[in-house]
Amino acid sequence: MSANSSETGALWDGLFSNQINVYGTEPNDFVRLAAGLLKPGSRILCLGEGEGRNALHLLRLGHQVTCVDASRVARDRALTSFARENFSAEYLLMDLSQTLPSGTWDAVVSVWCHLPTTLRREVHAKLSSWLSEGGIYVAEGYTPDQLRFGTGGPTDLELLYDPSQIQQEIPLHLEVFQKTERFVSEGQRHQGMSATLQIVGRKMTSK
Ligand SMILES: C[S@@+](CC[C@H](N)C(=O)[O-])C[C@H]1O[C@@H](n2cnc3c(N)ncnc32)[C@H](O)[C@@H]1O
């Protein structure tokens, strides 16, 4: 499947074409916090990175970033914002159902990257092969409780993070696994009290 034939990419291109900085320009709060766990000069894979706000934050902190997203519009915008500050980062225009080039990363970051169940499970299963030993997975997603708030995120129950399912899927030591009700303010689409799941999972060093 070429990137252009990704239905998901076309769908998200439609959204990003209508608006700029859809989720704001500031990094996600949990990414900002969890960045404190990263060793200097980490190699980081950002899944569903969109317009690049989280990647830009990580670049500013001195990390190396590889982004993945199916939206060409978001990719182009992210690369422009990186270049504006003289950063360069690899940005893979591809659907997460495709196979990533081989490599390992010190961290994998996923923010609001809500995927259909089968694909989400595949992605979670791949985390241990993507992470180097001691590497961390940092993620935030909306839980089904978010349907009560209606302040952003998917409205399709299947796409939301059911903590009991997610806990079983992630093949890492879960250092942080917390349901939150917190105020989210990210662009026009994520505004207000929200129900989220925040995760830090670590690939343990084998003895
Ligand atoms: C809600 S946006 C979040 C963007 C970014 N993580 C942020 O927080 O600003 C979800 C992103 O995931 C991407 N995405 C969704 N499903 C995908 C898939 N199957 N493969 C690749 N990217 C996908 C979309 O293109 C979109 O950029």
State the helix-helix crossing angle for 7-18 and 72-84, rounded to 10 degrees: 60
Furthest-apart CA atoms within the chain: distance in Å? 51
Class of domain 3-202: alpha beta
Please tell me if the CB atom of residue 30 comes closer than 6 angstroms to any atom of ligand 1: no
Distances (CA, A) of 166 to 10, 88, 117: 27, 33, 10
**pLDDT tens, 114-123?**
999 999 999 9
**Atom in ligand 1 nearest the alpha carbon of residue 13:** 25
Please tell me if the CB atom of residue 8 comes closer than 6 angstroms to any atom of ligand 1: yes
pLDDT at residue 207, as a whole number: 64
Scanning the structure block, which residue is given the tokens 């996600």? 28
- How far, in Å, CA of 161 to CA of 151, rounded? 16
pLDDT at residue 6, as a whole number: 84
Ligand 1 center to 64 CA (angstroms): 20
Beta carbons within 10 angstroms of residue 104's beta carbon: 15
- How far, in Å, CA of 77 to CA of 16, rounded? 9
DSSP conformation class of 36: G
Read off the tokens for 201.
């999972």
Ligand 1 center to 113 CA (angstroms): 5
> 1, 12, 45: which to mutate for ligand 1, most atoms within 8 A of CB?
12
Please tell me if the CB atom of residue 172 comes closer than 6 angstroms to any atom of ligand 1: no
pTM exceeds 0.85 for this model: yes
**pLDDT tens, 134-155?**
999 999 999 999 999 999 999 9
Please tell me if the CB atom of residue 74 comes closer than 6 angstroms to any atom of ligand 1: yes
Beta carbons within 10 angstroms of residue 119's beta carbon: 13
